[in-house]
Structure 1
Amino acid sequence: MAARSVNLGAVIKAARLARGWTQVDLADALHRSPSTVSRWESGKQRLTDIDELRVVADVLRIPYEDLGLAVTLSGDSTAKDDDPVRRRQLLRNLAMTAAATAAPGGLAGAGVQPNASGDLLVANLRDALLASPSHIPAPRSDVAAALALAKRAFQACRYERLAVELPRLITRGTSLSASGESADCALLAEIYTLATRMLVKLDRTELGLVAADRARNVAAGAADPILPAEAARNLSVLTRKAGWHDRAAEIALSAAVDPRLRGEGPRLKAQRGLLIMSAAYTAAKGQNRSGMRELTGEAMSIAITLGDTGVDLSHGTGFGTWMVDSHLVSAHNACGDPAAALAVARRIDLRALPTVERRSRFLGDVATAHAMRGNRTECLEALLKAEHIAPEETHARPAIRALVGGLLTSGRVTPELRGLAARCGVT
């Protein structure tokens, strides 16, 4: 066996949390001290002994390869899964699959009609991502200005505007890719990141993986360490949506302990907090309540140090105590505990959430919690409130439309519900 380079601490931590173990539990199983486990996970102590790595892998049920132990047979090394040519081919196939599902009717299900702005946005993003790079030079200042407008449209949930501006921005941004300059890489990485976030919102996992991989590759050439970290966070989100929870947690936690994110600067701390918070939600989706609580506590500890308003990051996402609390609502829903979700929601001031997009997401989570508890009236009230502040998001987002469909089929249909369903294209 030969070791390859991996972030062992993040892999061990993700596997431990996936089993619902504390550091003390793992230390007991390995007959080591909790402080040793803590140093492994934080990267302060390297775990290099091959035999001990095997023991850790066996106890946590981690494939040897995930701890950097690549099996060789008869002197022939195994094929590398991260071969660039194979990865590009895989992503191309994913993109073509996404292209097929992005056509009008791709959301088709019982009683759910295509959404014009959402489907147009996905189709246009698909075409822009699959097109060859533009050879028409675009001034960096013009691209930066267009990116700022697109970010504002995203934060305001203006899907119709994004359906035009964001694909065009991708095309113009690719003209910068040949320069290799850090500032150009940073701009293009932010463009791909914004596209990824939009595709996550619209539940287009396959096409989102294409955009996320582009963001990660381009961000590697940027000087700002926030950009590759955010690309990793979005990749983790998509990996989670694909159902690969352990891998999603590993991606997020590995990025959180990356040496480039070390330091006490507010931006670095905020990005670490975002990554840990993402891993917490992944734990919740995997029904790992103890892992969710532990990671949420870590994220909140960071958020508290950033003050009441938190920190705005260049890629358009903010982080603070309000962000951790709003994600905790989602996490409790994922764990099947809507009462806990609503208890957290009651302490959140909607006005404290900094963007229309974040308020709309929060109201959607509140509606979900009410639906899980059978509170039809309160669920509809939350949905109507979300529609009032972000109509395009409410009408296009698949999760919201599914909630509306559930209300239509589970009880009395009021005029308010019938009107919302019509506007969402749900019959």
Structure 2
Amino acid sequence: MTDEPETYIGQRVRQIRARRGISQQILADRAGLSRSVVAKYEAGIRPVDSRRTLLALAGALGCTLGDLTGGDDRIDPAISAFHRAVPDIETALWTQGNITDTRAPRTLDQLVPAVDHASALRHAGDYAALGPLLPELLTDAYRLADAGSAQAWDLLAAATYGAASALRQRGHGALAWTAVQESERAARHADSLAPVAAAQFLKSQILAARPGALTAALATVSDVAERLTPEARTRGELETVGMARLQVGFVETLAGGNARPHLEEAAEIATRLPDAPDGHSTARNRTFGPANVALWKMSSAVEQRDPAEVLRIAEHLDPAGLPNKVRHAQFFVELGRAYAMKRDHLSALHALLRGEHAAPQQVRGLAPVRELVGAMLREARRDLTTGELGRLAQRVGVVA
């Protein structure tokens, strides 16, 4: 949307507002902000570092979050393999595996470790390796489900959930919605609560990125959390229901509500994991546990613009104890955002670099990282802009 060498959300707000023919005051009134704050966003003096504000601006302008964040990693060679696979992923989902394919389909015993491997790649943030695996994985999972066993449907629910999660992370929201609907359909035939809770959790995440859809996002995940929490027994069921509780808390934060009861409920569910039986479902969320609950509390505090609370939680959370590279990276991204709120640019930069080191594909594609790096680039000392910060700005696509 711009030919300028550096772009940021406020710049796109200004461009879309001008095209809509509305003033800063009208935009401010529609978004529930002051005109002076809108002016600071547009001038690049203040970064748009809140999801709630971003949703309000997108709703007021009648556009999507992607129109404002402008981040498109589809031209990034490091991750292009994922995006090249998307048309084939789309075909597998639309046809429900009914495609021209002369391969002998994998057996259930062969497909279980393949789904686990795909999940491990997603949790490591290695989307470039994951993308090319998904079309055949989905096709084989559909073909097994046609046989009608509950275990095969459970596996299809896990495979489509993983595809939906990866598609959402990489900016393919509409196709992610198709995939999660397929996961929801498969979960109805499975013999476990875990895939049911997982699908509703992810539907809520997708909805929460749509302006005007927070009410639906909250209702979707609140319902499944309330219904299934008393029934959850196995480790997979507790993990997925616990993640649903965390999502309820985060959406409450976005909506300006009280997240604490839901986050504490998730923390209580996490204490039940060590004594829970494994269960037979492929649907799991191994990221759930006490450390991840603390990480979601950090994210909630960032959204509430409470850097002191973020730093307090971080003091007691060892990132090495987080379950995978993506969560490890998220810890440092949230820490960097908190330091930036305190205008400690050097500490923020160091945190972001550690996050990038943990999961480079994940971090470089995050809109909050681009916005933060751009703001720091405009404000920081010259030695930072010509050193690590300048190079990071290039890697995340803030500057050419």
Aligned residue among 252, 257, 260 for 1:293: 260
Deviation at residue 410 of structure 1 after TM alignment = 3.2
Find the aligned partners of 1:425 and 1:309 in 2 and give their Cα distance: 44
Deviation at residue 359 of structure 1 after TM alignment = 0.5
Please tell me whether residue 144 in structure 1 is matched to residue 89 in structure 2: no
| Match in the other structure for 1:368 | 337
Please tell me whether residue 196 in structure 1 is matched to residue 148 in structure 2: no
Q: Give unmatched runs, 5+ long, in structure 2.
A: 1-63
- Within a 5 Å distance, the mapping from 1:328-343 to structure 2 comes to 328-343=297-312
Find the aligned partners of 1:284 and 1:335 in 2 and give their Cα distance: 7
Cα distance, 1:297–1:202 mapped onto 2, change above 3 Å: same
Deviation at residue 230 of structure 1 after TM alignment = 0.5
Please tell me whether residue 174 in structure 1 is matched to residue 151 in structure 2: no
Please tell me whether residue 418 in structure 1 is matched to residue 390 in structure 2: yes
Deviation at residue 277 of structure 1 after TM alignment = 1.1
Deviation at residue 123 of structure 1 after TM alignment = 4.7
| Match in the other structure for 1:379 | 348
| Match in the other structure for 2:88 | 127
Cα distance, 1:408–1:204 mapped onto 2, change above 3 Å: farther
Residues 170-229 of structure 1: CA deviation (Å, up to 9, x unaligned): 233232242222121111111111112212323433222111111111111111210111
| Match in the other structure for 1:215 | 183
CA RMSD of aligned residues (A): 3.1
Q: What code does the residue aligned with 2:203 have?
A: L
CA contact 1:229–1:255 (8 Å) conserved in 2:
yes
Find the aligned partners of 1:310 and 1:421 in 2 and give their Cα distance: 46
Q: What code does the residue aligned with 1:125 have?
A: V
CA contact 1:404–1:421 (8 Å) conserved in 2:
yes
CA contact 2:235–2:276 (8 Å) conserved in 1:
no
Cα distance, 1:179–1:266 mapped onto 2, change above 3 Å: closer
| Match in the other structure for 2:320 | 351
Q: What code does the residue aligned with 2:200 have?
A: A
Find the aligned partners of 2:119 and 2:375 in 1 and give their Cα distance: 32
Q: Give unmatched runs, 5+ long, in structure 1.
A: 1-100
| Match in the other structure for 2:128 | 160
Please tell me whether residue 249 in structure 1 is matched to residue 221 in structure 2: no
Find the aligned partners of 1:295 and 1:253 in 2 and give their Cα distance: 10
Q: What code does the residue aligned with 2:378 have?
A: T
Find the aligned partners of 1:241 and 1:264 in 2 and give their Cα distance: 31
Cα distance, 1:245–1:358 mapped onto 2, change above 3 Å: same
Q: What code does the residue aligned with 2:163 have?
A: A
Find the aligned partners of 1:218 and 1:361 in 2 and give their Cα distance: 30
Find the aligned partners of 1:242 and 1:118 in 2 and give their Cα distance: 24
Find the aligned partners of 1:205 and 1:367 in 2 and give their Cα distance: 26
Cα distance, 1:258–1:401 mapped onto 2, change above 3 Å: same
Cα distance, 1:378–1:210 mapped onto 2, change above 3 Å: same
Q: Secondary structure at the match of 2:195?
A: helix
Instruction: State the TM-score, normalized to the length of structure 2.
Output: 0.72
Identity %: 24
Please tell me whether residue 315 in structure 1 is matched to residue 287 in structure 2: no
Please tell me whether residue 226 in structure 1 is matched to residue 197 in structure 2: no
Find the aligned partners of 1:189 and 1:113 in 2 and give their Cα distance: 27
Residues 287-310 of structure 1: CA deviation (Å, up to 9, x unaligned): 22xx21121122222223435999
Find the aligned partners of 2:73 and 2:208 in 1 and give their Cα distance: 25
Aligned length: 322
Find the aligned partners of 1:108 and 1:421 in 2 and give their Cα distance: 15
Indicate the larger mover: 119-128 or 388-397.
119-128
CA contact 1:308–1:321 (8 Å) conserved in 2:
no
Q: Secondary structure at the match of 2:273?
A: coil
Residues 30-72 of structure 1: CA deviation (Å, up to 9, x unaligned): xxxxxxxxxxxxxxxxxxxxxxxxxxxxxxxxxxxxxxxxxxx
Find the aligned partners of 1:175 and 1:157 in 2 and give their Cα distance: 28
